[in-house]
Structure 1
Amino acid sequence: MPDQVRHDALDDAHALLRARWTQALEAARDTPGNPPHPDPAPYADNLLARYQEPQRHYHTLTHLTAVLDHVDVLERTFEEAGTPVPDLALVRLAAWFHDAVYAPDRSENEERSARLAERALSEAGVSPESTAEVARLVRLTVTHAPEPADLAGQVLCDADLAILAAPQDTYAAYTAAVREEYAFVPEDAFRQGRADVLRQLLDLPRLFWTPYGTERWEEAARANIAAELERLRSPL
């Protein structure tokens, strides 16, 4: 029975993600009256399979769902503040594609993910302009440094990095999952590389760009990063 319950829960989660994909894709497609568009389902299934690849431990469907949820949170904060909202359908599509290609031992994952988005969305009925915007947003996750006027980029980057501000137990699970993804890296080399990444983050003038992210996530994220950096300096 427990196995069946887990299986049913997984099916429900996948069905919900397929529905979220379909909603975002249909919102981003050209206006009605154009030739019929391809069925969204195969594209969703391809992406779901990618996020379940065996080399993934953090960059999984759980991460994808969290990013989509954080986009929803940021959308509500803009609406409550009366701030004009960017085209979040494109931001949500970018969230789907931003880690669609992920190999821990490769450095061009974002570029390959952006190219996948360009191919898939063009075929799926999204205009060239909107497809290019999604690919731009995916590429922006290399630096997580959107321009001050790039509200769509700010939403995606903040949603992607929100894990840095998670409660301590969730943050600990995140760091453990990252370590699993880099299990092929010797411990000393991993500690040095991870510490370099964390120091670069702490040196940034800001980690979050939206008003909500700045107010709710910035301080907690910096505290988590500093604590992890201290642990890396002083292994048990």
Structure 2
Amino acid sequence: MLTDNFSQLFAKNSKDHELANNLWLEIFTKYSDSKRHYHTIDHLEAMISDLKNVKDKVNDWDTLLLAVFFHDIIYKAVSSTNEEDSAKIAKQRLTEAGYPIEKTEKCTRMILATKLHNLSEDNDTNFLIDVDLAILGKNEEEYRKYTEQIREEYNVYPDFIYNSGRKKVIQHLLRMEKIYKTEYFFEKYEKTARTNLVNELQELEN
């Protein structure tokens, strides 16, 4: 499904099929890296599935989709610049593909916004950061699977280091007035997300 989504998206903006195939191969390879357990192709599919429910509220659907595909193209547990590095790759690849400059710039800004998940003046960006955090509001079983996958991605760190960092992430999210910035995702996930985060925080502190 994702292959078709990407092919159709790219075909609207470029006739270079070889470039499209190479780009998709790069994206698929990065998200299929053996060190990834959560930030995988499945994560992209889940994001796009959720976003389809708000497609009529999105101003620039194509650019939002491209931001989804590229937002975690670089993901290393030991790096603090994943978002910046992913945005850089997106800008390079979309420029090579001849994607409009202003849309390319928007895409890179959207990707950078997934670093802190703060409220944006651009509603499409808010949809991206909300759907990136949608897993927080899923049921208990899905949330636990997510936490286990994240822990596996950070398995280079011993528990005392990982737990300290994870607690900071959770506390940052819980301090937000709203985890989800758009009405749709707030209504759908906010309450459950806060319950999941509080429960995880309690486990980490015990």
Match of 2:6 among 21, 29, 33: 21
Q: Secondary structure at the match of 1:59?
A: coil
**How far apart, in 1, do the equivalents of 2:186 and 2:83 lie?**
25
**Alignment match, 2:34:** 54
Kindly indicate whether residue 51 of structure 2 is the aligned counterpart of residue 71 of structure 1. Answer: yes
Deviations 1:56-79 (A, max 9, x none): 11111111111111211222xxx3
**How far apart, in 2, do the equivalents of 1:132 and 1:178 lie?**
30
Match of 1:130 among 103, 108, 126: 103
Alignment RMSD: 1.4
Larger radius of gyration: 1
What is the CA-CA distance between 1:190 and the residue it aligns to?
1.1
Kindly indicate whether residue 139 of structure 2 is the aligned counterpart of residue 160 of structure 1. Answer: no
Give the aligned length. Answer: 205
Specify whether residues 127 and 37 from structure 1 end up closer, same or farther in structure 2 by C-alpha distance, changes over 3 A only. farther
Letter of the structure 1 residue corresponding to residue 16 of structure 2: H
**How far apart, in 2, do the equivalents of 1:23 and 1:233 lie?**
47
Q: Secondary structure at the match of 2:28?
A: helix
TM (norm. structure 2) is 0.95
Contact 1:38–1:124, Cα closer than 8 Å, also in 2: no
**How far apart, in 2, do the equivalents of 1:215 and 1:71 lie?**
14
Letter of the structure 1 residue corresponding to residue 205 of structure 2: R
Letter of the structure 1 residue corresponding to residue 23 of structure 2: Y
Letter of the structure 2 residue corresponding to residue 119 of structure 1: Q
Deviations 1:26-64 (A, max 9, x none): 34x27xxxxx43532221111000001111111111111
What is the CA-CA distance between 1:112 and the residue it aligns to?
0.6
Match of 1:210 among 171, 182, 185: 182
Q: Which runs of 5+ in 1 are unaligned?
A: 1-15, 31-35
Q: Which runs of 5+ in 2 are unaligned?
A: none
Paired residues for 1:48-197 under 5 Å: 48-75=28-55, 79=56, 83=57, 85-147=58-120, 149-197=121-169
What is the CA-CA distance between 1:158 and the residue it aligns to?
0.9
**Alignment match, 1:221:** 193
**How far apart, in 1, do the equivalents of 2:119 and 2:5 lie?**
25
**How far apart, in 1, do the equivalents of 2:66 and 2:136 lie?**
22
What is the CA-CA distance between 1:144 and the residue it aligns to?
1.1
TM (norm. structure 1) is 0.83
**How far apart, in 1, do the equivalents of 2:61 and 2:132 lie?**
14
**Alignment match, 1:45:** 25
Letter of the structure 2 residue corresponding to residue 120 of structure 1: R
Show structure 1 runs of 4+ deviating over 3 A.
36-39
Letter of the structure 2 residue corresponding to residue 42 of structure 1: N
